[in-house]
Amino acid sequence: MAEPIARLDDVSVSFGERVVLKNCSLEVPDGTIMCIIGLSGAGKSTILRLLDGLIKPDSGHVYLHEHDICHMRESQLIEMRTKIGFAFQFAALFDSMTVGENVSLPLREHTTLSEKEIFDIAMHTLDSVGLAHTYHNMPSELSGGMLKRAGFARAVVTNPEIVLYDEPTTGVDPIVTHLLTDTIKRLRKQLNSTAVVISHDLQSIYMMADYVAMLFEGAIIANGTVEDVRKSNNPIVQQFLQGSEVGPIPL
């Protein structure tokens, strides 16, 4: 594996009585696409929120490069987040702004670039996801797949080192799924960045993942290349990949 760019080290997270992550460790190798799989409610989105410093673990550490982000001051966290792009599950664009304004937002918040520079970068980024022509449209005028790509553009507009995608292909047809998967791969390469992708779509995962990690009952129970994980002799992993009702996973 390549050097890790991000790392969870022995992390535990609970919400009230509910233990979501328990002594969970995970390394995200630099320059790769890592997909995280697991049952609904397993804690996958929680891992992305930890990596972005949006929540802190009850115990354990979260590192970006060698920096422990759990002990950063808010000003350091804000600085760190410019290196991280987050593509939220439902794109989460602001309805009252044009697509171009939405994509420009991180540049306005985190840089001192001129209006012209912001426009040029936002337009270029929209172009890289095939949406330059939608710059002046409102989000409500876009299809579901286009909204997702606009969300990707906003996530990568600051040229982040690591991009977090939460269920980027949920709720779109198989052709759009293919297009979105291809876009994630292309953006990773163009930006020379790292991607962490949560997905339930096995076809899409097999197409893009360098590494796959499976989260189950608070910890990573399988982690390796697509081939490693597909060949895993862990019955929980096999039941999950086959989508079978029969097996050790409690239903």
Ligand X SMILES: Nc1ncnc2c1ncn2[C@@H]1O[C@H](COP(=O)(O)OP(=O)(O)OP(=O)(O)O)[C@@H](O)[C@H]1O
**Which positions lie near ligand X, rule CB under 6 A?**
15, 18, 20, 38, 40-46
The residue with its CB nearest to Mg ion is: 45
Cβ–Cβ contacts within 10 Å for residue 18, how many? 9
Q: Closest separation between CB of residue 243 and ligand X, Å?
A: 14
15 binds, among ligand X, Mg ion, none (CB under 5 to 8 A by kind): ligand X
CA distance 33 to 208: 7
Q: How far apart are alpha carbons 239 and 14 in whole angstroms?
A: 26
DSSP 8-state assignment for residue 250:
-
Nearest approach, Cβ of 171 to ligand X (angstroms)?
A: 12
d(CA 33, CA 117): 30
Q: Residue 55 or 77: which CB sits closer to ligand X?
A: 55
**For the chain, how many residues are written?**
251
Q: Are strands 4-15 and 162-166 parallel, antiparallel or unpaired?
A: unpaired
With a CB cutoff of 8 Å and minimum separation 6, the contacts of 100 are 119, 122, 123, 126, 134, 135, 136
- Decide which of ligand X, Mg ion, none touches 106; Cβ closer than 5 to 8 Å per partner kind: none
Q: Binding of Mg ion at residue 170 (CB under 5 A)?
A: no
Taking the least distance from each CB to ligand X, the nearer of 40 and 75 is 40
In the bound complex, what is the minimum distance in angstroms from residue 112's beta carbon to ligand X? 33
Residue among 181 and 199 whose Cβ is closer to ligand X: 199
Pick between residue 47 and residue 131 the one whose CB is nearest to Mg ion. 47
Choice between 17 and 74, CB closer to ligand X: 17
User: Interaction with Mg ion in 31-60: which residues (CB under 5 A)?
Assistant: 45
Give dist(CA 116, CA 184) in Å, integer.
27
Contact residues for Mg ion (CB under 5 A)? 45
